[in-house]
Amino acid sequence: MTESAHQAPSAIRLLREQQALELDWPDGHQSRFAAVALRWLCPCAYCRGEAGLPGWLDANPSLTEQQTTLTGGELVGSYALCAFWGDGHRTGYYTWTLLRKNCSCADCLGLQNQSS
């Protein structure tokens, strides 16, 4: 993982019609996340669990359309993006490191497979 994984993206685009989030990174790399994949990645304590208890995503094998409809978002300081979902959920702070680490483009998937 390069140092740029910890830097803020140079551009962030919420593509409402395509239900996707695109990020351009300072090193020229681009990441694109489908809204469904982004919701499954939610890092908040409610979704992931805390204090040894499973999170909501662990107990629910499927999500509704409202739960996967990306309606907006806002920056959290200089380190993350908070996504807003159709069901009102908005407590997940997607750090730049988390998003870069979970990029699923062909180049990043190839790097992940090489390190496995």
Give the start-to-end residue ranges of the domains of the chain: 8-115
Strands (E), the chain: 11-15, 20-24, 30-34, 70-76, 80-85, 93-95
Question: Whole-angstrom Cα distance, residue 17 to residue 70?
Answer: 10
One digit per residue, the tens of pLDDT, for the chain of length 116 reads 444 446 899 999 999 999 999 999 999 999 999 999 999 999 999 999 999 899 999 898 899 999 999 999 999 999 999 999 999 999 999 999 999 999 988 888 876 666 65
For residue 98, give every residue at least 6 positions away whose Cβ sits within 8 Å of its Cβ, in sequence order, or none: 41, 43, 80
Question: Whole-angstrom Cα distance, residue 58 to residue 13?
Answer: 29
| 96: its two tokens | 């730049």
CATH topology of domain 8-115: NE0471 N-terminal domain-like (3.30.2020)
Q: Is 94 left (phi over 0), alpha (psi -120 to 50) or beta?
A: beta
Kindly report the number of other CB atoms within 10 A of residue 81's CB atom: 22
